[in-house]
Amino acid sequence: MKKLIFVVIAMFQLLYSCEDEITPKDIIGIQLLSDSNTIPADNNSTLEFRAYISVDADDDKRDIEFETSSGVFSKNNENVLTMTAKDTIQLNNENFLSASVSLTSSNVVTDTVTITAKIASFKARSEASFTASIPNSITVSADTFGLTNTFDSEATLTAIVKSETGFPSSGEQVEFLIFNSNDHSQFTDLRFRNEKLKVNANGEASTLFTAGNLTNGASPFVGDVLVVSRVIGREAISDTLKLNVTSKID
């Protein structure tokens, strides 16, 4: 009889503990506040998220750690950010404490970006996507207005590529072409160094150019050159500038 009573009590305790088991969703939740969870991979666009916890949480148990698998949080430019739940919100007629974050996309196309909100060992997750950001403009500049026709005279050429919403996704490259501004003939034997032609996260590509080997017939070239910068594979996206090449004065 005593064994039977013990078994009944043990089963009751097991059922009771299962009914009252605490799950992550009982502790913390996360919401996407933006209209869509898809933004361009342009190192600029943002999504807004909000995590919430019980309004009765102890004062020292209100810090929520946010983490993203791609992109960074706008507040600290890092992929991890801790925020204290302070704002009171109402969901389904129930009050909660919340903290909100803004996520900035990277320039890497990513089908699934996971955003995690954690308090203690309990986690809530949401997902987003970073889609291709297509370049639509390029601007080329130089750190000088002119060069001498010697190899020790150089110009830093910089191209900034942008998309409609920010910067293009990774993988885009630019090229620099040099023409005789007078007759628009193209120079083919060019000297570039420190080439960084793959567009970085800020849309930038650059190279060092010297006019030391440019010739006009048998003579060193003197005059204006036209620098053309364009996105490879998207040649309609281009920009130009002029540099004046002079003879070296001894």
88-123: pLDDT as tens digits: 999 999 999 999 999 999 999 999 999 999 998 899
Q: Which helix (H) or strand (E) holds 29?
A: strand 28-32
The percentage of the chain sitting over the pLDDT mark of 70, rounded to a whole number, equals: 89
| pLDDT of 170 strictly over 70 | yes
C-alpha–C-alpha distance, residues 103 and 98, integer Å: 16
CB 86 within 8 A of CB 74: no
Q: Which class in CATH covers the domain with range 24-131? A: mainly beta
Q: Per the structure block, which two tokens stand in for 87?
A: 């704002």
Length reported for the chain: 250
Per-residue pLDDT, averaged over 119-144, amounts to 96
24-131 shares its CATH topology with 135-246: yes
Higher pLDDT, 35 or 8: 35
The domains of the chain are located at 24-131, 135-246
Chain-wide mean pLDDT for the chain?
Answer: 90
For domain 135-246, which CATH number applies: 3.40.50.2000, 2.60.40.10, 3.40.50.300, 2.60.40.1930?
Answer: 2.60.40.1930
Q: Which of 1-15, 51-65, 93-107 has the lowest mean pLDDT?
A: 1-15
| pLDDT of 127 strictly over 50 | yes
Residues 6+ apart with CB under 8 A from 101: 48, 49, 50, 51, 66, 73, 74, 75, 81, 83
Residue 238 binned pLDDT confidence (cut-offs 50, 70, 90): very high
Helix (H, G, I), strand (E, B) or coil at 235: strand
Q: Which residue in the block uniquely carries the two structure tokens 């949401």? A: 126
Q: pLDDT at position 17, please?
A: 40
Q: Which residue in the block uniquely carries the two structure tokens 């869509």? A: 36
